[in-house]
Chain A
């Protein structure tokens, strides 16, 4: 298990502030955040490339905070892979074995062969890094980091420089490798789809602070605050005044549009709150709302813009008072519904899907 306790490190005007984190053995943890949020700085601090100002880093129970990078058993794959340009692929992979002959002789050379096979770069063994594509470089760097059998593997945006197709394939390969080797991994990225492809658990970092950790679905469905909601593309981020309503909450938006929410957030009655409704959680039906026994949010509205997003269609519904909701419908569902701009519809939202955000 990797434990980071109240880690602080400042460089210039930027600071990592009070970072606390736990990553279980064998877990694939993704650190998600925008550019300049401190992701790389945190990885470099964990790998020992910066002397931290405060806090502790424990790797499998050993405090490595003051240890040199070479004694931490933390593998690091930097963003541009940083392959040694003067060495062949094979020598790059063998570099961490600390034996000049390891690439070619003895049992260590078999280990190098296995690693080359593992990441599927055996035919490239004699090439120099300058003759490799981005994806090949990434796999060489991964094999090189794995050669030292690290207890923790740090991947700094390992696929961000690649095209979308290559990114998907390599994400699957990295995840498969991580499963096979069981190496605890922290993967840094700013790409939402990349996170979903590999993460067991996610942490969202912003301005040097970890804002929220949880499963990918928790982060998606229950973002902690407005920043996380925006970053995970929560879709409908709304504001209104909260009032108590039994066990739940009633939130009054513009011009009398009202939502019921299960009180899950920290909002208290009588205050302005922000809340989200994910576009995929909205249901749309034709016609005006009809009474129902269930405590649902039913909003009449008019279909506005329709946007084709490939697998889904984004439907914009104007619900009055300037309130516009975005819904995502599967192609089949959209075809069945058969709505056009200007049609009257009813938007249905479960109170469980109205998620109240913490104030920032």
Chain B
């Protein structure tokens, strides 16, 4: 069977009849419905706004500052996220310890909980003695740019940890065992065997962290506020512009974010997350 309803791989493709085509059509109908729905939303956004609004967005000092802040804070969140995701993903994949299931579930909590809770919890935490001590030690987070990174990290790291763990799950531990017999210690086997083999998954994890960190809004409103030119990231801009009735500008920022997010997700597919 070739043409429209073809399988991704030419190998092992069974002979299909009319029923196979109908089945494939039924499955793909849901894909069309979902993707079509989203494309309709995008198209409505694009139709509503104007090129003038897009140009205004790209020229506006505040919005360019918000874009820069969004990019560098989310970039730093990715780096910090990976510093945690790589060892945690490896540890959760390779080692079994009492409470492993509980720990594994806690790692997933930020994926399930409403992001607003992260901001609220951080605000409460920094009112405690420990939180106050941190703030008074020169590490100020509340209503600060550092707070943006903290919120982004806490909201997004779980996605990276999960992606990296799944990648390490797919790396055969026996390859590391062979490295042990060839003169390497555990660390050597990790750095020379497991890490290079997990590289695609790590890059995919990084992109997942970035997309989540880039789009986060709820916790930021609670923990760092929405102060123009100071703690304003692109999602905050959308909120601020909407609240003063400049819907066209808000939608132009939305389109900017959509273009950046689409580029990132296509990058994930090209790097092989889709294949796995």
Contact = CB atoms under 8 A, between A and B. Distances in A.
B269 interface: no
Contact of B180 (A69, A84, A85, A98): A69
A138 to B, nearest CB: 14
B176 to A, nearest CB: 9
Contacts of B180: 48-49, 68-70
Contact of A48 (B175, B179, B181, B184): B181
A226 B185 CA distance: 44
B182 interface: yes
A247 interface: no
A148 B174 contact: no
Given A70-B184, A148-B183, A76 B178 contact: yes
B276 to A, nearest CB: 14
Contacts of A75: 181-182
B52 interface: no
Interface string B123-165: 0000000000000000000000000000000000000000000
A47 interface: yes
Contacts of B37: none
B193 interface: yes
B172 A82 contact: yes
A144 interface: yes
B177 interface: yes
B181 A70 contact: yes
Contacts of B272: none
A44 B173 CA distance: 13
Nearest to A74: B181
B174 A86 contact: no
A86 B178 contact: no
A96 B182 contact: yes
A44 B178 CA distance: 10
Contact of B183 (A47, A70, A86): A70
Interface string A202-234: 000000000000000000000000000000000
A84 B179 CA distance: 9
A85 B193 CA distance: 9
B185 A68 contact: yes
A95 interface: yes
Interface in B162-208: 172, 174-175, 177-185, 188, 192-193, 196-197
Contacts of A145: 181-182
Interface in A134-165: 144-145, 147-148
A75 B121 CA distance: 54
B28 to A, nearest CB: 31
B181 A98 contact: no
B181 A84 contact: no
B188 to A, nearest CB: 8
Contacts of A144: 182
Contacts of B178: 76, 78, 82, 84
Contacts of A72: 181
Contacts of B182: 70, 75, 95-96, 144-145, 147-148
Interface in A29-76: 44, 47-49, 68-70, 72, 74-76
A96 B183 contact: yes
Contacts of A86: 196-197
Contacts of B184: 70, 98
B160 to A, nearest CB: 21
A72 B183 CA distance: 9
Contact of A76 (B181, B196, B197): B181
A98 B172 CA distance: 21
A257 B181 CA distance: 57
Given A75-B181, A95-B192, 5 more contacts: A69-B177, A78-B174, A84-B179, A86-B196, A98-B183
6 contacts: A48-B180, A49-B181, A95-B179, A95-B192, A96-B182, A98-B188
